[in-house]
Amino acid sequence: MTENYLYFAEGGGANATTEAGCFACSKLTGISPIIKTTTGIYFEGTTNAQDAGELVTLTHSSNISGEGRSSGHQVRDIANAVATACNATPKGQFITIADMDQEVGTARFHPLMPGLDHLEVSPGNMGTNIADIVTGVAITLDS
């Protein structure tokens, strides 16, 4: 059965170990905050049977208390983006969640990742990018 796969890249060129990862949505085991400025996305281990899980850590801004926020911590919005991507149809998609190898701009992130719509900014600032929210990706195998 085809399914959706999520892609993450740290920004180092995706040409060395852990610089990028692509994980099946069926292997997603959960998402949780790690500290105020990081959120962990967990997957079943991919390097061996019954090995430790894989962890993708997204670095982002701290709590933002803007009107209409669904969450103080970014975890709820990140979780919503990842789950929506996993349930996107038709199945069988390759979906970029966060690719820091891409130039600054929306190509770096899934459209639902926390972004400017959650910031209280003046219209003149709307030209900036959602990298203001998520600023880093780190992949840890056998976390």
Partner 1 sequence: MTENYLYFAESAVETGGASSPEAMLIPASSYLGCDPESTTITNFKFKALDGTATIETVALTHTASKNKDVIKAFVNIVNSNFINANGVTIVADSEVIGTKKFAEYHSAFNGLVTGCAIA
Summarize as ranges the residues that interact with partner 1 (CB under 8 A).
Answer: 25, 28-36, 40, 42, 44-45, 52-53, 55, 63, 65-67, 69-73, 75-76, 79-80, 82-84, 86-87, 143
Cα atoms found within 13 Å of the Cα of residue 131, Cβ hemisphere only: 17
Q: Which is closer to partner 1, CB of 14 or CB of 138?
A: 138
C-beta closer to partner 1: residue 18 or 105: 18
CB 104 to partner 1: min, Å: 27
Q: What is the rounded CA–CA span in Å between residue 140 and residue 85?
A: 21
**Which residues make Cβ contacts (< 8 Å) with residue 114, sequence separation at least 6?**
60, 74, 77, 78, 81, 130, 133, 134
Tokens standing for 86? Answer: 């996993």
**In the complex, least distance from residue 86 CB atom to partner 1, rounded to whole angstroms:** 6
Closest to partner 1 by CB, 14 vs 53, is 53
